[in-house]
Structure 1
């Protein structure tokens, strides 16, 4: 009996010692994992910030050596828009807002796009748009007047389109067709827009259509296919083969152009169709 009690006592002591060793080890392992995760996240953030800085430096070099868009100060664009007044807001999207402004130094009206500070996708599209549209010159493309960016602010100044967006007007199809011909065939590299829709086409004072918003655009050599990963664009304007394969092309841009060109006719037809039937079209 006494021997059994001693044996039980010895087993309990061993278990306590084992637990005494196991708990600190578990704490150390858990602490190590947490420390690694924190270190990894900070390193990833630091790497992303470094990549952003390199990308911005590259943009500065590309733009400042050219004769195109002008680099403005933040004060220039804040003054132009009355410190980004809500009364001058023209519209708002997923990655930022657009404001009407007047550049006193240039004596012209502009539309200033201000990217939301927390939008990583917005910053990515900013870099893409600046890289592509700054080298394009065509009467039916919205012209980039100037730009400004630092570590937190991303701003683009475009020519102001007096008559707003196409989706509130009818338009002449030749203007957009001319812009597409220029992008697809006449540039040094083919530009695939990937997001042609009515709200990305602006109208000047003479109701001439101009294509804008190149944040999703891609460059490719004329003789090569464009390889993309993931879909980009707007459902309803997207070509079926692009939606299926995720591979954008000149043809998918042309399909989107066809949808835009068809819209005025569809809207006219839909006025004579009952609302419950129109939803099925």
Structure 2
């Protein structure tokens, strides 16, 4: 008994200290815990995912590492280096990304793929009880995760919204210039992650495998990890796929506690597999020549029959009797196939959780269109959904993106919209390198979107609630007119009727507070989202930006605080310079606060919004607004770990169709 009591802790500590330093130059015979799609190949590669859709893979060290010398102590310095490569299914788009992870457990249960990278799910994303530290290498731009682009490195603490992120690349030692790297190039890259426990400084550096480590880090972040990292944690990797997919490979990995991490032996690393290319099977080739030698006529007959079968399958559609009512709004798959030259990658406009969007030209009319391919696995509610889509196709307003029609195939719904050549508004507001919009352009777009919403709420034959009003769903036509699009979440009901309770859907940051209690959408909940939209256009900011200072993270809170201090004009987009009309800008900021008021009864109707924007009526007395926005009002804070935010992740991407419709 004495030996068990005193020797067992010594053996455990010895095991932990031994595990604090390891190097894998390839993974043949490596002792790792694997789950999901993760596997060790015969060549010694750690492959986290393949091109299976909506899957995840995890790989962890099997022995926990000791990160603290005492339970309440600070985190010990640590460093790691690894070589990785991402080989996408499509040459231009990666299938989500992967992350280096420190976790309390090597078994990540009930986690989701796609935007959650196999680390979190919709209910625990952002929960401080997760005790997850990760550095993500992400190849999808997800607005709900506040991603800066579709090729970035980010530091994640307990959730998928990065505390700090940068486009992937390195700072050259020669000229000090930033050099871009494409994560989805399929080429091996090397990453260093170093944490200084004394100065609480975290550095992340990335470079091509062929060059030495750059002197300057890509990401430098001062953070105290003592409340995140527990005494003992497992180190490893997590990756996921969505509709677009990628192979995620780790070629080598070295880890060190409290010291300089050992360098990897690049010459000993396994080689990446060569890209899969289409080639004819040798047996098939021999058989073909035998058939040729026997009878050219027979071969031509078989080939002709096969071409007919392939052509028939290529253009096959799903058509049921009830769809005859919608015949005028249905496109043939053959039309859309020709419009996009067979849905080639060069016509691809974007890839997201909803599916893929292509630009095309209809062969008969030469009309330019945007074609959205949405996958689904259930036929439940299809008839109702198509009926609503066809109804929405009857909308005619200069500030709405026209829905021209649809097509159905087995497991797929294809929507056809009029093409908007200047893309979505968010690209001009948030993306670096894009030319900014002048204030006159912004004010014109705001008034246009307001006019479109008034038409949906009051002026059409039925009431349409959009449910996802935001800058990324406002598209710009050739004349830079703002057009509200993406009616995939819209609900319709008769004037004078009562909207039905539905599943909560929309985007975090734009959801009216009352939806978390009632799940009953109204025109007032659209007005709330429009208010947030006004603020993001005027301020050039997303609704939620976790990387900013605490008092600036939530756009509504920040503008409201400045309005109370009398400095509301200081929240304007700095890129506007001094070229703006002060009265118009102040009106938009204050109207944004009024529309996004926590009390539905305090929000104006869209008709009143139009009157205010055109100066036909004055804005309500500021004293009245101040009484409404008191500290005792029902205003819901979005910042921090508020339960409302935690439970309201967007349903506008992955479950766009057939979830509560």
Structure 1-normalised TM-score? 0.69
Paired residue secondary structure (2:538)? helix
Partner of 1:239: 512
Paired residue for 1:203, among 456, 460, 476? Answer: 476
* Corresponding pairs, count: 220
- Structure 2 residue runs without a partner (length 5+): 1-317, 429-436, 556-661
Contact 2:356 2:372 in 1 (8 A): yes
2:389 is the alignment partner of 1:130? yes
Q: Judging changes above 3 Å, is the alpha-carbon distance between structure 1 residues 269 and 243 closer, same or farther for their aligned structure 2 residues? A: closer
Partner of 1:173: 446
Contact 2:401 2:484 in 1 (8 A): yes
2:553 is the alignment partner of 1:279? yes
Where in structure 2 are the equivalents of 1:72-83 lying within 5 Å?
72-83=331-342
2:500 is the alignment partner of 1:227? yes
Q: Judging changes above 3 Å, is the alpha-carbon distance between structure 1 residues 204 and 116 closer, same or farther for their aligned structure 2 residues? A: same
2:355 is the alignment partner of 1:96? yes
Paired residue secondary structure (1:240)? coil
Paired residue secondary structure (2:514)? helix
Q: Judging changes above 3 Å, is the alpha-carbon distance between structure 1 residues 196 and 123 closer, same or farther for their aligned structure 2 residues? A: farther
- Structure 1 residue runs without a partner (length 5+): 1-52
Q: Judging changes above 3 Å, is the alpha-carbon distance between structure 1 residues 247 and 117 closer, same or farther for their aligned structure 2 residues? A: closer
Paired residue secondary structure (2:549)? helix
Contact 2:339 2:360 in 1 (8 A): yes
Where in structure 2 are the equivalents of 1:1-281 lying within 5 Å?
57-61=321-325, 63-64=326-327, 69=329, 71-118=330-377, 127=386, 130-169=389-428, 170=437, 171=442, 172-267=445-540, 275-277=548-550, 278-279=552-553, 281=555
* Alpha-carbon distance between aligned partners in 2 of 1:121 and 1:258, rounded to the nearest angstrom: 34
* Alpha-carbon distance between aligned partners in 2 of 1:206 and 1:200, rounded to the nearest angstrom: 17
Partner of 2:231: none
Higher alpha-carbon deviation: 199-208 or 216-225: 216-225
Q: Judging changes above 3 Å, is the alpha-carbon distance between structure 1 residues 129 and 85 closer, same or farther for their aligned structure 2 residues? A: farther
Contact 2:474 2:483 in 1 (8 A): yes
User: How far does residue 264 in structure 1 lie from its aligned partner after superposition?
Assistant: 2.1
Contact 1:162 1:204 in 2 (8 A): yes
Partner of 2:8: none
The structure with the greater share of residues assigned to helix is: 1
User: How far does residue 206 in structure 1 lie from its aligned partner after superposition?
Assistant: 0.6
* Alpha-carbon distance between aligned partners in 1 of 2:469 and 2:553, rounded to the nearest angstrom: 23
Q: After TM superposition, which residue ranges in structure 1, 4 or more long, deviate above 4 angstroms?
A: 119-126
Contact 2:378 2:411 in 1 (8 A): no
* Alpha-carbon distance between aligned partners in 1 of 2:369 and 2:389, rounded to the nearest angstrom: 16
Q: Judging changes above 3 Å, is the alpha-carbon distance between structure 1 residues 236 and 134 closer, same or farther for their aligned structure 2 residues? A: same
The structure with the greater share of residues assigned to strand is: 2
User: How far does residue 196 in structure 1 lie from its aligned partner after superposition?
Assistant: 1.1
Q: Judging changes above 3 Å, is the alpha-carbon distance between structure 1 residues 91 and 266 closer, same or farther for their aligned structure 2 residues? A: same
Contact 2:463 2:492 in 1 (8 A): yes
User: How far does residue 183 in structure 1 lie from its aligned partner after superposition?
Assistant: 0.7
User: How far does residue 126 in structure 1 lie from its aligned partner after superposition?
Assistant: 5.8
Q: Judging changes above 3 Å, is the alpha-carbon distance between structure 1 residues 212 and 120 closer, same or farther for their aligned structure 2 residues? A: farther
Structure 2-normalised TM-score? 0.31
Q: Judging changes above 3 Å, is the alpha-carbon distance between structure 1 residues 57 and 256 closer, same or farther for their aligned structure 2 residues? A: farther
User: How far does residue 58 in structure 1 lie from its aligned partner after superposition?
Assistant: 3.4
Paired residue secondary structure (2:539)? helix
User: How far does residue 224 in structure 1 lie from its aligned partner after superposition?
Assistant: 2.3
Paired residue secondary structure (2:467)? coil
Write the deviation string for residues 119-176 of structure 1: whole angstroms up to 9, x where unpaired: 7799689636523311211111111223221334321111110100111235321111
